[in-house]
Chains A and B, each alone.
Chain A
Amino acid sequence: MVYPMQEMPLNDKQGDPGYEENLAAFEARVARGDKVEPGDWMPNDYRQQLIRLIHVHANSEICGALPEGGWIPHAPGFKRKLALVSKVQDEVGHAQLLYRAAETLGKPREEMVEELISGKSKYSNVFHYHAETWADVAVIAWLIDAAAIVNQKMMAEGSYGPYSRALKRICYEEAFHLTHGYDMCISLATGSKLQRDMLQDAINRWWKPIMMFHGPSDKESKHTEVLMRWRIKLKSNDAQRQEFLKKYVPKMFNLGLTIPEEWEFRYDEATKEWRYNEPDWDEFLNVVRGNGPASALRLRTRKLAHEEGAWVREALAAAAAGEHVPVPVEMN
């Protein structure tokens, strides 16, 4: 169900005389762990922050389908081919679920799609890079899906009901992607020299985007405090990154993979955390603003797909409205 934005109550200090009271009640509810549902009172900022996050998330699913989708024709063997089509199909399905969740907050899908292809709204940093080899597909499906699962599992416990429920279903499917990705990486890591080198090369190129995936360090992240108070987000970016590293770095080492030296990765026994050289967050911001190596290509591809599909959407809308064009009379 789509709730048009114009009809949404403007719950801010100007628009709502009882704002302070309502806000206190809202925050108390959220602190108790209650889920917020579409018709409930919510601060306008809460609505806007959620729309922003869900929109970016949906965009990421749909843009994430592109680098991997480009490798579907090249997938080596039936098993990989079937698993990859199924994975990319799931990602498109995730976009659909998420657009629907964002629609409950008053943002129509068509508007979100337009904002994506015009470059107005963002998507995950990792999909601004090219998938250059088959091993990139394996690394994306394993480590990027793993990093995404850390984030999505946390977000699934968040306060907004429709988003939380969509994420629970998404996490269920992501678990399969992870298994498929890990399995591909194991095959490559235990395969021929060509395959092992291909995999290590992919790790070398993808490690930076992966380290940036959970977003700027807590010192730099501007939204974190209010998002955590409203239980939109339950863990800081750095905490998510550590959770991911703790689980997956040992697995990488077990496969004989290494992390590029410039990161100076080391395990701190005292804090039980990984230490590394901080990523360049200016570079991250520059990439998500659309200046990554594949940013232009991604938007061009999305735009083209959208334009090529325009006549179909129009026709389906006409068909749904029961319209038919006059058909030429049969000759015989």
Chain B
Amino acid sequence: MSQQTIEQLKPQVKTAIVDLLYRLADDHLILGHRNSEWTGLGPILEADIAFSSMAQDKMGHALAFYRLLQQLGEPDPDTNAFLRSGDQYRCCSLVCLERGDWAQSVVRHFLFDEATRIRFEALEQSRYEPLAQVARKLRGELKYHTMHGQMNLDKLGDATEESHQRMQDALDRLFPHAMGVFEPTEWDETLAAEGIQPREAELCKTWRSQVADMCAESGLTMPDDVGPIYGGRAGKHPEDLKKLLDDMQKVYRLDPDSEW
């Protein structure tokens, strides 16, 4: 079977792709926003700079997905990001949660980026070529992010009693939310059948086993008796997102028709 271009998409396939792209775009935007909350406030200048740089990348990746959405007839990236309400967002709860301490931020970054790496590896083969192209294009930057995430886990996981405790606490707290990255949707079957993306459950399984190994290597224990927290993909979010969107949209909404 040949790869699909925009013109050839069947309506329900297009709807499924749009839904997937919103999940990807919103996850990256909200996480980028959260991570940029450290800019100027990081624990050391070097970590501050690295985290800011990755926050920008995440926002840039979000922009790439919003542009794909625009090609499919959805609103332009700014309108989409700055004028949608919380219930229209499709991000998972992991990215919505407040910044927390540095451990929460680096563990979230690690869990999310490992999930993204596994997803993007699959998306590089996607039969929806525009998406496959983006996944291939972002590979290099993402590689840097996962390297950074693993390095943080390695260094902080068992360096001191306090760092170990904080990292383990963050892992315990975030893990159910991280499983929520792979919340199945009604489009799973269509996306899988059309060769656009493997089923969420399948991606989740790969992620879980790889993340468990990495945690163990860093002296951390991945919780294995917890269930996922779902809802984000259906527009149900923790309160944290509302506050975030109020903050993010407040200037833009003063005058949505103007250039800022």
Contacts and interface: CB of A to CB of B under 8 A. Distances in A.
A318 to B, nearest CB: 4
Interface string B44-57: 11111100110110
B124 to A, nearest CB: 25
A77 B82 contact: yes
Given A73-B36, A77-B78, A330 B221 contact: yes
A85 B33 CA distance: 10
B162 A76 contact: no
Contacts of B101: 308
Contacts of B33: 73
A195 B254 CA distance: 9
A253 interface: no
Interface string A77-100: 110111001101101110110010
A75 interface: yes
B63 interface: yes
A315 interface: yes
A260 interface: no
A69 B40 contact: yes
Interface string B76-97: 0110011000000000000000
- Interface of chain A, helix or strand or loop or mixed? helix
Contacts, number: 161
* Interface footprint category on A: 35 or more
A324 interface: yes
B2 interface: no
A305 B47 CA distance: 13
A268 interface: no
Given A73-B33, A308-B43, A308-B102, A85 B254 contact: no
Interface in A297-311: 301, 305, 308-311
Interface of B: 33, 36-37, 39-49, 52-53, 55-56, 59-60, 63, 77-78, 81-82, 101-102, 154-156, 158-164, 166, 216, 219, 221, 244, 247-248, 250-252, 254-255, 257-260
